[in-house]
Every structure is written in C-alpha cells, then in structure tokens.
Amino acid sequence: MKDANDTPAPARATTGTRSSRRRFLKEAAGVAGGAGLLALGAGLYARQAAALPATALRPPGALAEGDFLSACVRCGLCARDCPYDTLKLARLGDAPATGTPYFEARGVPCEMCEDIPCVVACPTGALDHGLTDITQARMGLAVLIDHETCLNFLGLRCDVCYRVCPVIDKAITLEKSHNPRSDRHAMLLPTVHSDYCTGCGKCEKACVLPGEAAIKVLPLKLAQGSRAEHYRRGWEEKEAAGGSLIGEQVELPVRGMEDKAYGDTRLRPGETPLPQPEAVPAAPAGSGLDSRWKP
C-alpha cells in the first residue's frame, strides 16, 4: 500500500497505457463480480428472510409485507413511541427482517391506543398514516386454532379471550351450540369475526392455557381462506335484489308436517316420530359391493 503511494506518478504513467488499461479492465471485472456476488447474496438472503414467521405481527397500519419491506427504514421511531413497549425491532438472528418492527401477541400484545402513536411516529409511510381509527387496524386475525384444548370447547365457561377483547361482542362472540358429550348442556364457542378483529393479540395473550394459547393471532394470509367468488350465495343475492331472483317458490307440503314451517322437523309434546323404514341388515362380510338398488 505504502509502495503504491510512494511510486512517483510519472513512473506509473510510463507503463504502457494498453497494459494498464487491460489491468484496469481485469480489476474492474473482478471487483464488479465480487460486489455483484455480495449484493446478490444480500438480495437472496433478503428474499428468504422476507417470509415473516406466523407469530410475528406487524404494527398497526403496516403496509402489506412486500411493500413494508421497501418502505420501512428500520428507524425504530414506532417502537420508541409505543407506550406499552409492544413493538420491538428484530435483531440479527430473529426471524423477521433485521431491524423491522414487530410484536408477538403471546409476549406483549397491542393495546390498541386510540391515538395510534406508532403510526403517527412513522416517518416513511411504512405505517400508513391513513389509519386514524385503531378499530380499522388489521395486524392479523385471531383464530381459535385448537378445538381440543380450548376450555370452552370442552364445555366449560372460560370465556377469557372473549372478555379481554377490546372489540368484545363484535370481534369475538360466544356462539351457542349443543354439547354432544353430555347431550344436555350448551357449549359457548368463542368465534372470531374478521370484519371486526384488529389482530391486537390480547385474546392470545390472555388465553388461560399454560403454554401455547388455544386462540392465536395469525397473519391474515394464513388465517383466511380465499373467498369462493364463483359460488353465488343465494341469500346474499336475494337480499341485494330485495327478493328472490327466480320468483316466489312453490313450497310443496310434506306429508304429516303440513302445519309446520318448511324444514322444521322438531317434535311437539305428544307427537310420535314418523315410522322409520325397516332397518336393513348389514351385508355379510366378503359379499362384495351391493348397492341394494332395485329397479
């Protein structure tokens, strides 16, 4: 290094310009290749790391992950202004992209501040300033993911996730259903509604199960199926059109149920069930396929 600096300039100029140009080209090619490789590596790594793990949630108002990664400069201003220390910046080695803000619902959930200080603090627009009503945030979507361990699914009345939800009775409701095990009790099943759930994570944080929660907030993409657009929901069409699209339906009476509403099969006190068709004995094993169809 010292040598190169100490070579008088004229001495360098005397080495033929052609060979020096060739050397320059060779060096440039090598350097470009090296730099390109490094940048390519960074790019590939970026690509791979762009897959956000399912437990990492972005702050309110975050752009869709792809756009977020082009917008967030990893300054941490959102995290600094979060009064609950919900948000943290991913460190090298954490699953989300290094330096980007995220939170984990089971760790510290979002308290849904009314003034959304994190969004206001974001200087780049990675958190969309258009979000001014925190109930419109969609950080994720809660999913009651484990029907085997959730206490309400076992027939108990835990309800904790329902009680803590800041959007109670809209984002989570308790839906009554029959408990087939006892056959005489109801089960009140916590049911999340995507129209209202902000993905704040308070339900997951509060779930009383000792380790993993039975209700989890997942990224929308994981939590939701895509809508079957080709399937026309008759009831929606009917409501939109203000009446059935195919005119009044003729409802044929069902024998023995003439005085009941269509589809109502409940027995009244004193009523006896209709005689069942005689039970057909099961085909003996090994007799092959027999559909019992007779013309």
Tokens of 172: 């989570």
Find out whether 117 and 81 touch, Cβ atoms under 8 Å.
yes
Interface with ligand SF4 in residues 150-169 (CB under 6 A): 150-152, 158-161, 165-167
Q: Identify the burial level of 54 via C-beta atoms within 10 angstroms of its C-beta, where 0-12 means exposed, 13-18 middle and 19 or more buried.
A: middle
Q: Among 83, 107, 123, 234, which residue interacts with another protein (rule: CB under 8 A)?
A: 123
Sole binder of another protein in the list 14, 25, 39, 234 (CB under 8 A): 39
Rounded distance between C-alpha atoms, residue 69 and residue 92, angstroms: 16
83 near 56, Cβ under 8 Å?
Answer: no
156 binds, among another protein, ligand SF4, none (CB under 5 to 8 A by kind): none
User: Which of the choices ligand SF4, another protein, none does residue 151 contact, using the CB cut-off of 5 to 8 A by kind?
Assistant: ligand SF4
For another protein, the closer CB: 130 or 210: 130
Number of Cβ atoms within 10 Å of the Cβ of 121:
17
Residue from 52, 82, 97, 158 that binds another protein (CB under 8 A)? 97
Separation CA 77–CA 70 (nearest Å):
17
Q: In this chain, which of 49, 77, 120, 186 binds ligand SF4, going by CB under 6 A?
A: 77
Residues from 234 through 293 that contact ligand SF4 (CB under 6 A): none
Residue type, 77: L
Q: Does 96 bind ligand SF4 (CB under 6 A)?
A: no
CA dihedral for 223, 226, 231, 232, sign (positive or negative)? positive
Q: Which is nearer to another protein, 99 or 166 (CB)?
A: 99
197: tokens are 């759930």
Binding site for another protein (CB under 8 A): 1-3, 5-6, 8-9, 27-28, 30-32, 34-36, 38-40, 42-43, 45-47, 49-50, 66-67, 69-77, 79-81, 88-94, 97-99, 121-125, 129
